Structure 1
């Protein structure tokens, strides 16, 4: 192992869209979603939308087929596989839900690259209906963080991860406002990779002095791959890279330096 933990947000980081909006729009429920949006927290709204879609006759198979069509930049999967091959411990930390993430990662053939998925519970109940529940049960208690939505404080999850890993560097990739709280938990030995011109990047730019971690922005999947692989390979020893992944190392840098990468496409 490289001694590096790479933590990925999911929506607009691994995939190029918000999975909740994608499912709602693709299944024709956008109008109802917009009507209900002002009335309840997002996480509760998504659970309600799954109930409504079930009543409309939409099946779990329908939802799975929509999820398998999510747009993803073509360099994201190679980036994840490269990080995994270089010995990193990869994890997901997302405010989506377990059903969406597991379905998509398995479809993309990269589920085995991740040791852990931290997200809101998502499961099929006995009626064949998808249920989406909060990670933190805010109906019972508050997580107490005013930076995060009531259902999930990513900062508290980062603290739990930090307590279980010793002397390891963390590389955190994210885009949304919910990724700002965990960025504040990173140490000077860690790296924060915010997506440029997205909410977490804007928050970091306004409050740069509050972060201890080095900040390395990225724009798209091609940029994500370049920055992530560079951070990993400069953090671990060159001897370890040569011993374990010599061929991959040479290929990655040749690819990043010379190959013209394609534009984002939809996964069939």
Structure 2
């Protein structure tokens, strides 16, 4: 639907697991990962893991093949395709990385559904080694957000999405996430927006520790089936109000959050 922007986190939201952990485990890096975990930031640690794979003679193509086995709920894939076909603008904001995300989405024929992916950039260097870099270069311009890791503030990314939105900022946003890093952008959502936290995950816990801080209406989900039903219901509801000249009232949305009204549509 024109005027609806759907923003997905990736790990444990779009896919049912963590892409970094998947590669580390499936490609035999768990011991080295544990040894270095306390000494390196996560983003730098994953770049170091790619160096180790390169030293073992593993290619970027082999990493891509490993990523094809990452679990993705078919109901979530169906929800993405339906939202895209309905005309929504789909984005990804993730602390994974470009290579992992794109290879997984390509495998499931979903990459073309997303207008933009905001994540840690990657490239394969002249030696064939996959390199992973931070989205924000903290050595040049620290983002200064205490809620987010130094390599990526999702709240700043959401600010950029809001600022670049056409139609005079009249878009309705739906944000789906699970982790602590999704809390900062959740706080930036407006009272005409919606947030879909995965139940009993860090974002859900943060929201309901003080729900008055969140302006957006809150709709929890636990699995792919609930995500699909809730997301498509929201899209259809917003579209109906737009087509009839109505709008999501700020009063009803704010009361959803303040009263802990969490909606899962059967």
Instruction: Identify the residue that residue 256 of structure 2 maps to in structure 1.
Output: none
What do residues 201-231 of structure 1 show as CA deviations (whole Å, max 9, x unaligned)?
Answer: 0001102110100000000111100100000
Distance in 1 (CA, whole Å) between partners of 2:102 and 2:237 is: 31
What do residues 81-136 of structure 1 show as CA deviations (whole Å, max 9, x unaligned)?
Answer: 11111110000000000011111111110111100000000111111000000000
Distance in 1 (CA, whole Å) between partners of 2:82 and 2:134 is: 32
Task: Tell me whether 1:213 sits opposite 2:216 in the alignment.
Answer: yes
Deviation of 1:2 (Å): 2.4
Task: Tell me whether 1:44 sits opposite 2:44 in the alignment.
Answer: yes
Instruction: Identify the residue that residue 261 of structure 2 maps to in structure 1.
Output: none
In the comparison of the two structures, how many residue pairs are matched? 243
Contact kept? 1:96, 1:120, Cα under 8 Å = yes
Task: Tell me whether 1:31 sits opposite 2:34 in the alignment.
Answer: no
Instruction: Identify the residue that residue 228 of structure 1 maps to in structure 2.
Output: 231
Superposition pairs of residues 75-154 of structure 1, within 5 angstroms: 75-154=75-154
Distance in 2 (CA, whole Å) between partners of 1:42 and 1:28 is: 18
TM-score of the pair, normalised by structure 2: 0.89
Deviation of 1:71 (Å): 0.6
What do residues 173-202 of structure 1 show as CA deviations (whole Å, max 9, x unaligned)?
Answer: 000100000000000010000000001000
Any idea what SS the aligned residue of 1:71 has? coil
Aligned-residue CA RMSD (Å)? 1.5
Instruction: Identify the residue that residue 189 of structure 1 maps to in structure 2.
Output: 192
Deviation of 1:140 (Å): 2.5
Deviation of 1:53 (Å): 1.0
Instruction: Identify the residue that residue 253 of structure 1 maps to in structure 2.
Output: none
Contact kept? 1:194, 1:200, Cα under 8 Å = yes
Deviation of 1:72 (Å): 1.2
TM-score of the pair, normalised by structure 1: 0.88
Contact kept? 1:100, 1:122, Cα under 8 Å = no
